[in-house]
Structure 1
């Protein structure tokens, strides 16, 4: 089941990419597109075989909503800091323990953390994530750690795991 769904998603994604790049319905481009899609899907399956389980839709939806809300909040925070003279900044670094098993999940965590206002994931050290904070105080670091753990739990749940 997972293989069939993965194959279908890859064929659709590669086909849409080809159609957007080709831009015409010329029969010659359709034939070339079919070959290109087949080769791309074959390489994709070889390099990244389907996993036994798919992403879980409920946690994935919560993660998507978190992403959208954090993007909006981060946009307003950046605008506020840019327009306000002398925004309060006391930068610092904090290391946060993480338990996500794959580099891909940790990279996704770093991306989400960068949407938290005043926080930037700067380095993945395997079992911990190093953050740059605009509020490097103990309270700011504790708040960042709590937010990272919340996002980490959502990513693990969406990937079919848990914490």
Structure 2
């Protein structure tokens, strides 16, 4: 792998991970968490939280992958297609896993397995497979931390 391609992979990884860290804010919680406090007795409250991602939330977290796939359509470079898919599939897994399971460790294993598989399937050489797997895992981990934090501190 030439240094230009390596730098491109690292740059895409940095930008995608930075975007996911940048959108981690409290105003975004209303797009994926519904919660309410209910008064049971005189002073006892209970909190009910539902995870339901809206299309706006899904588009915001998938924005790096969408941009990379749009760049692929314009420039026809396979690097953009591979990176877009290797970022998009694990992020989509991170968004969908909390719907089916309540255990955070299963979410983590899910994105880890999907990231490794996307790197293996999309990459050609060993270094590219590793870079694509890491490109998928780190942004998906950031999305998973956003969701997990929002679910645990709401109400």
Instruction: Answer yes or no: same fold by TM over 0.5.
Output: no
TM-score when normalising by structure 1: 0.33
Could you tell me the TM-score, scaled by structure 2's length?
0.34
Structure number with greater Rg is: 1
